Amino acid sequence: MLNAARQKYLVLTALEDYWDTNKPLVFLGDWCCRFGRRAAWDKPINEIISHPFKVKGEHARTFEYVSAVYEKFLVELAVKLNTIHSTSHNVRYWRIIIGPWLLCYIGAMYERYRLLKKVLIEHPGIITVLLPKDDRETPLDTRSFFSGMVRY
């Protein structure tokens, strides 16, 4: 167990009500830092995790991996969605209907996975808190999903 005085707090959102400012802050990404609130986060004891995709060649590897996962899930989802909706649309149909959302979702989840993995390696014993269920929002459609991705 880490000494509580040296324990760091992982920030996952720009919503400052969820930050434990009594501890050094580690921000999962710069999206957690609102430029207009720089005084709240820009302190020597705090840090922003460097993005793992900034390594040379990592963008291409990530794109290939995410694309392969997307293709696999798209085929599986097409089968499931056809069953649920009692239809027989081909994969191209589902690519048009859910493709943009699915590709963004897989990319975002993979990015968060890689960032969290990096945080846990660099900062063992780091703590955080998840948003309460009442504060979570379920997107109504692809547009609200995309806007929610950049809002917090």
Element (H, E) at 59: helix 58-85
pLDDT at 152 exceeding the cut of 60: no
The answer to whether the Cα torsion of 74, 152, 129, 10 is positive or negative is positive
Which amino acid is present at 81? L
pLDDT reported for residue 150: 64
Q: Are 9 and 127 in contact (CB under 8 A)?
A: yes
Element (H, E) at 26: strand 25-27
Contacts of 121 (CB under 8 A, 6+ apart): none
Burial classification of residue 85, based on how many CB atoms lie within 10 Å of its CB (0-12 exposed, 13-18 middle, 19 or more buried)? exposed
- Mean pLDDT score across all residues of the chain: 88
* Residue-wise pLDDT tens digits, 107-147: 989 999 999 999 999 999 999 988 778 877 788 888 888 77
Q: Which long-range contacts (CB under 8 A, 24 or more apart) does 140-144 make?
A: 142/100, 142/101
What is the domain partition of the chain in residue ranges? 9-132
In this prediction the pTM is 0.80
